[in-house]
Amino acid sequence: MDLDSSSPLAQDKALTVLGLESSCDETAAAIVRLETDGRASVLAEKVRGQNEAHAPYGGVVPEIAARAHAEVIDGLVKDVLDESGLTLAELDGIAATAGPGLIGGLMAALMTAKGLALGSGKPLLAVNHLEGHALSPRLSAPLAFPYLLLLVSGGHTQLVTVEGVGRYHRLGSTLDDAAGEAFDKTAKVMGLGFPGGPALEKMAAAGNPDRFELPTPLGHRPGFDFSFAGLKTAARQIWERLENPTDADKADLAAGMQRQIARALANRASNAMKYFMETYPDIHEYAFVVAGGVAANRTVRTALEAVAETQGFRLIAPPMKWCTDNAAMIALAGAERLRLGQTDELSAPARARWPLDARSAKLEPAIGSGRKGPKA
């Protein structure tokens, strides 16, 4: 999509868009209305999780996810149309996440959206899931561009400057695992259940984070990238050395791991805030947005609040339902794109990998960008 070649569309009317999401393990549909002044309202939304289906395997199984999305997505579309009292004919566009994500899962939302777009004659918006997260704070309240975003979920850990719709600059991302993945995999090794993040946080509550010596990812080197694989491996090795671990052992290891992840996120965020202030010296109010499931973690939140306060940024965390995977953010991103006239052909492909900022991904590819490389 090329900003320059697009023609602004319907500046004088509110746009109502249906959004669909199925890139990981949440199936979701939502209808969002975007006013001409940029305010957004969610007219209806539904999310269906798959935790029970994946729990026996301790992680998301792509085939199970794809089938589960396909089974429920039609019903969710019907539900949000019913709830909003709207018909397809009353919508202005149909948006779906087209990537990045699990290809089998992406198909469910994208194919459904294509069918609906074809049947209704409405334009299709093939949305980048990361763009949805990047714009998600604007679902709750107007927020002026530019702002700094930390996206921290099970699939992504990246720092991005959001300069406008379609204008994103990735400052840094994970070189290996996402932060949520480090939580999940450590929880799995420790037998804490799935999803691991919340389970590990609960276990950590009574723990002593100082007991086990765990590495500090990337030390205090400058820069904006993250790395969690070394920390995850260190935690696993400590775990394997423990004989008959007690609840106290578990709590101490969980607390140590959680604190190191929080510290790494806060340290990189602090670097990014300094860079952001140098890049935009004249902004009235600096905003730092945290999105993604890991933002639910209290220790992480507290560490990020502390750096935001030190650097003079206002920390904005969208409500949890819009922080984790949802379709309202996809509908909003679709509506913003539609406003700019950036619609997609019905041949738009699903893309397992789709960097939000293609230029940064090309110029500064993160290490290991092959099959095992970072998700975005």
**Residues of the shown chain interacting with Zn ion in the complex, contacts defined by CB under 5 A:** 153, 325
In the list 24, 43, 190, 214, the residue contacting ligand KG4 (rule: CB under 6 A) is 24
Contact between 294 and ligand KG4 per CB under 6 A: yes
In the list 154, 166, 217, 374, the residue contacting ligand KG4 (rule: CB under 6 A) is 154
For Zn ion, which is the closer residue by CB, 128 or 186?
128
The residue number whose beta carbon is nearest to Zn ion equals 325
Q: What is the dihedral of CA 30, 36, 39, 43, to 10 degrees?
A: -30
Contact between 328 and ligand KG4 per CB under 6 A: no
Q: Are 286 and 276 in contact (CB under 8 A)?
A: yes
d(C-alpha 123, C-alpha 180), whole Å: 35
For residue 154, CA distances in Å to 25, 90, 158, 182, 375 come to 10, 35, 12, 8, 10
Q: Are 157 and 174 in contact (CB under 8 A)?
A: yes
3-state SS class at 346: coil
> How would you class 198 by CB atoms within 10 Å of its CB: exposed for 0-12, middle for 13-18, buried for 19 or more?
middle
d(C-alpha 111, C-alpha 14), whole Å: 26
For Zn ion, which is the closer residue by CB, 15 or 323?
323
Segment interacting with ligand KG4, rule: CB under 6 A, options 10-18, 30-38, 149-157, 246-254: 149-157
Mention every residue, 6+ apart, whose C-beta is less than 8 A from residue 82.
none
Q: How far is the CB of 85 from ligand KG4 (least distance, A)?
A: 29
Taking each helix axis from N to C end, the angle separating 196-204 and 247-279, rounded to the nearest 10 degrees, works out to: 110
Segment interacting with ligand KG4, rule: CB under 6 A, options 85-93, 216-224, 289-297, 341-349: 289-297
Encoded tokens for 254: 């969980």
Q: How far is the CB of 284 from ligand KG4 (least distance, A)?
A: 30
For ligand KG4, which is the closer residue by CB, 97 or 270?
97
Q: What is the dihedral of CA 301, 313, 357, 219, to 10 degrees?
A: -60
In the list 64, 296, 340, 352, the residue contacting ligand KG4 (rule: CB under 6 A) is 296
In the list 115, 198, 230, 373, the residue contacting ligand KG4 (rule: CB under 6 A) is 198
Quick note: the x/- pattern for ligand KG4 over 178-197, rule CB under 6 A, is --x--xx----------xxx
Q: State the binding partner of 183 from Zn ion, ligand KG4, none, CB within 5 to 8 A by kind.
A: ligand KG4
**Helix residue ranges, H only, the chain:** 51-54, 62-84, 103-120, 129-135, 179-189, 196-204, 229-241, 247-279, 298-311, 320-323, 328-339, 358-363
Contact between 352 and ligand KG4 per CB under 6 A: no
Encoded tokens for 233: 């491996």
Q: How far is the CB of 322 from ligand KG4 (least distance, A)?
A: 10
Quick note: the x/- pattern for ligand KG4 over 37-66, rule CB under 6 A, is ------------------------------
Q: Which residues in this chain contact ligand KG4 in the complex, by CB under 6 A?
A: 24, 153-155, 180, 183-184, 195-198, 201, 292-294, 296-297, 324-325
